[in-house]
Amino acid sequence: MFKSKITKNIYISIITLLVVLLIFIIGDALTSSKVSILTEKPKTDISVFTSVNDYTAKYKLLNEVSEEYMTEHPDVSIKYSSLSTENFNTRILTDFSNGCQADIIITYPTRTMENLFNNGLLADLTAEFQNDESWYDLFDKSALQFCVSNEKIFAVPMETEFVGLYANKKLLAENGLNIPKTYDDLKNCITVLRRNGITPFSFGLKDENLFLYQALTVAFEKNFEIEQALAEQRFTPAYVSALKTLKELYDLGAFPSNCSVMTRSDAQNLFMEGSAAFIVESSSFSGDIENSIKLSDVADTYTVLPFPSPHDYYSVSAKSEKNFSPIIYGVGDMTVFLSSDAYNRNHDVVMDYIKYLTGAKVNSKFVNRVKFLSALNTSSELPTYGPLITQCNLLIFNSTEFAPVPSNITDRFVWGHTIAKGMSDILNGSISAEDLISNTENLSRLCTKNGGE
């Protein structure tokens, strides 16, 4: 019995010891957890909203480099969202109006974005460039000028953009046609292709950019005349003439039968499938083509050239090494804006990310993989441009006159709600070109009177 009592006491002691040890372990874990919670740096959330379509190589690479940044900065969380141009501008105005805007916006430097800046809703980045000369020196100053308003820098450009006429050389040759050098040549191509059952132009009215219309607009007016008129809330006769010319092309059978419902991606796919001979697009489309097929096939199949103007002043001279068509040139949709709220609330974090995104390392990835025309002077390394991007560079180099992107220097809200929305009515003849542009002027003046929007 005495032995049994001793054994029982030993068991009790062991159990007591284990309980004490368990309490100590749990207490230590809780203490460590509390210390961890107290010392762990809270995550900073950065929201990014962009008009770069989520199916593009640009958007995928934007997300990839953001993942790399978050790996290097585990205390930062970055979330991207995208909306096509057709809906982007309405959404951006709604978001700012409701105070739920993204921290960073990546889109074209449109008049809408400039108005947001002038109303104090986008950050003034002038001091950032002044205080970081090495960052400022990265940028091509001719590109940076598109991001200046009232001598203040309100955005950071990553790419420059050229708008031109893309042609399928093989398709033209199969139909006994040459690359058009004049507007009459282009109309002849349209007539022959349509007669042979081939869609001449890939063009969609659901693409609010309407690059074909923009190319026609600058063909009818000199650069400074368009900009001066818009500053006075006037739209020059070029806008009317371009609409009438677009109607002429439509009546010739230039566009797909379902052009009224075609989006930008629909039009691009139609051209890349070889089902249309022409498309007017930005230089970023060159990268999409070069990334989709072998470069040797690109050189054999496609070319890019200035749009042959209906205006005699801008006729392309076959004898000259320089072309006389105006080149639509500016910075593209990879232009970075920062909301004033995010700038004041999380200055160090958002500026660090923007400098990372627009720095030499990330820029090199975009140049070599997306193949856009960089707005940065990054390094001595020559980018591996393919035949179409090389042609774009040569066209810019050889151009005697540049024109701004009309949809950028026009209030984008006005552009979308009058010109883009009324394009179907122009083509079916239910509104005149003069009346549509008059409606555009009226809405533009109303928006200006109400504070820019």
Domains, the chain, ordered by start: 44-160+331-387 (3.40.190.10), 163-328+407-449 (3.40.190.10)
What is the C-alpha separation between 163 and 179, in angstroms, rounded?
17
Mean pLDDT of the chain: 85
Q: Region 338-348: what's the mean pLDDT? A: 97
Pairing mode of beta strands 104-107, 335-338: antiparallel
More confident residue, 101 or 181: 101
Query: If pLDDT is split at 50, 70 and 90, which confidence band does 436 have?
Result: very high
Q: Identify the pLDDT of residue 384.
A: 64
Q: Identify the pLDDT of residue 137.
A: 93
Instruction: Identify residue 66 by its one-letter amino acid code.
Output: S
Pairing mode of beta strands 276-282, 327-331: unpaired
Tell me the per-residue pLDDT of 193-212, one tens digit each, with 9 for 90 and over: 999 999 999 999 999 999 99
Q: Identify the pLDDT of residue 38.
A: 46
What is the C-alpha separation between 344 and 336, in angstroms, rounded?
17
More confident residue, 228 or 411: 411
Tell me the per-residue pLDDT of 365-402, one tens digit each, with 9 for 90 and over: 998 888 888 899 855 455 567 888 888 888 887 777 77
304 has pLDDT over 60: yes
What is the C-alpha separation between 276 and 54, in angstroms, rounded?
24
pLDDT above 70 coverage of the chain, percent: 82
Query: If pLDDT is split at 50, 70 and 90, which confidence band does 315 have?
Result: very low
Q: Region 241-251: what's the mean pLDDT? A: 95
Q: Identify the pLDDT of residue 138.
A: 93
Q: Region 127-133: what's the mean pLDDT? A: 96
Cβ atoms of 200 and 190 within 8 Å: the answer is: yes
Q: Which residues contact 253 (CB under 8 A, 6 or more apart)?
A: 190, 194, 200
Single pTM value for the model: 0.81
Lowest mean pLDDT among 165-169, 214-218, 307-311: 307-311
Query: If pLDDT is split at 50, 70 and 90, which confidence band does 154 have?
Result: very high
Cβ count near 362 (within 10 Å): 22
pLDDT above 90 coverage of the chain, percent: 54
Lowest mean pLDDT among 34-38, 251-255, 315-319: 315-319
> Would the CA dihedral through 361, 362, 365, 370 be positive or negative?
negative
Q: Identify the pLDDT of residue 406.
A: 85
Tell me the per-residue pLDDT of 60-104, one tens digit each, with 9 for 90 and over: 999 999 999 999 999 999 999 999 877 888 899 999 999 999 999
294 has pLDDT over 60: yes
